[in-house]
Amino acid sequence: MTAATAEQYRIVDPHVHVWKHDPEFPFAPEAHPPARDATPETLLELMKANGVSKTVLVQVIHYRYDNRYTASVLKRYPQYFQAVARVDPLDSEAPDHLSRLVEQGFRGVRLSPAANAAGDWIQGPLMPPLWKRCDSLNVPMTVLAPIARIPEVGRLIDNYPDLTVVIDHMADCPVDRPAELDKLIALARYPKVFVKISHTWSLSRQGYPYLDAQELVKRLHAVFGPQRLMWATDWPIVEAVATYRQALRVVRDDMKFLDAEDKRWMLSKTIERVWPFA
């Protein structure tokens, strides 16, 4: 990317996590967070070094549904961050919790149904009120779901066609089961569904630049178009396999099927359709 091209849009990372070992913000009792911290200051250094201007914080699972640490970071650095909260999907008061979080500045909620029976709540009676509230608040619904759950997510979207829905990490579709991606491709019929093409580094069975996982991206690009796809680092989770820089480079430099306009959307404009920054 030339300097002239870089000046034409700002790169926005729509998926990172922050946490800190701090008694003021205790982790959930059942959580097993890494010994390391993932502070906003470390993140801001990485952003600056890689030309990333803005970032969307996604509430990390270590805190479960206590969003106070993320809220504190959002309050300290509003010029850099937006944030997505978590609410307990088994709590009938989750819609009201979401309303309060939105009042605090959060821009959306994330749900993470497991593949096994523990995630069957995605089909249950508590989902419609939460999705309806998300719709009425006009904030995105972000879903981290395994590919097998995507048809169930689609049935919820059927009832809320005006709700912006973001599917995280290509639904973690295995590269050795490419036919499964058809479940995610089926959601392209909903014009307000977006997909993060993150986790090429996680899904791949090869080294950088993860050409096998790039094949999944190529298929999604052909159906959704760049206007509904977005990159993301998933920092600091990415650092178990790759660097922050590699998570950017694989899209910006090494997806050879993308042209300059594709990258303008996927690194910037698509994200700001969902999370507009000042």
Whether 8 shows a pLDDT value over 90: the answer reads: no
Whether 5 shows a pLDDT value over 90: the answer reads: no
Tell me the mean pLDDT in the region 19-41: 97
pTM, two decimals, is 0.96
pLDDT per residue as tens digits for the range 140-151: 999 999 999 999
In contact, 134 and 120? CB cutoff 8 Å: no
Instruction: Please give the CATH topology (third level) of the domain spanning 3-274.
Output: TIM Barrel (3.20.20)
* Mean of pLDDT over the chain: 96
Q: What is the pLDDT of residue 9?
A: 93
In contact, 270 and 229? CB cutoff 8 Å: yes
pLDDT band at 2 (very low <50, low <70, confident <90, very high): very low
**Torsion region of 234: left, alpha or beta (phi above 0 gives left; psi -120 to 50 gives alpha):** left
CB atoms within 10 A of CB 46: 20
SS3 assignment for 76-114 = HCCCCEEEEEECCCCCCCHHHHHHHHHHCCCCCEEECCC
**CA separation for the pair 76, 79 (Å, rounded):** 9
> Residue 14 in 3-state DSSP?
strand
**CA separation for the pair 101, 54 (Å, rounded):** 21
